[in-house]
Amino acid sequence: MIGVTELAADKARKMMAENDISPESDYGIRVGVKSGGCSGLNYVLDIVDAPNDNDRVFEKFGVKVYCDPRSYLYLNGTEIDFQDTVMDGGFKFNNPNARRSCGCGTSFTV
């Protein structure tokens, strides 16, 4: 499972509302990984209009989360949070599979 905190879900819903996206649509957050970064794998997060045919689909706090099968191998159990601080803001990944993460938290190693 991939989850979102209530704060992250609130931020995602606000972003969708700002872009006139209906909460009843299939719009959701696509999460994934790609090669790169200082630790080997980078997190990817986008707002998309529908899941792909083979995506894993989760929903929490009214926000749909889509993940492709390859990325799910690395992200199973991850919770997406949102922080808004002076020094560090944005979506954050709390990934129990990461053995090591870079200092900025955007890449990891399994």
Fold adopted by 3-109: Hypothetical Protein Aq_1857; Chain: A; (2.60.300)
Surface-to-core class of residue 40, CB atoms within 10 Å of its CB (0-12 exposed, 13-18 middle, 19+ buried)? middle
Report pLDDT digits (tens) over 1-16.
999 999 999 999 998 8
- Residue 63 near residue 13 (C-beta atoms within 8 A): yes
3-class DSSP assignment, residue 101:
strand
> pTM for this one?
0.84
> What pLDDT does 104 receive?
53
Beta strands in 9-72 (DSSP E): 28-35, 41-48, 56-60, 63-67
What average pLDDT does the structure give for the chain?
A: 85
Question: CB neighbours (10 Å) of residue 8?
Answer: 23
What 3-state DSSP class applies to 2?
Answer: coil
Interatomic CA distance for residues 69 and 74, integer angstroms: 9
> 97 pLDDT band (50/70/90 cuts)?
confident
Q: Which pLDDT score, from 0 to 100, does residue 71 have?
A: 95
pLDDT at 54: 96
Sorted by where each begins, the domain ranges of the chain are: 3-109
Give mean pLDDT, residues 67-94. 90
Query: What are 31's strand-pairing partners?
Result: 45, 67
pLDDT of residue 53: 94
On whether the CB atoms of residues 85 and 73 are closer than 8 A, the answer is no
**pLDDT (average), residues 67-80:** 95
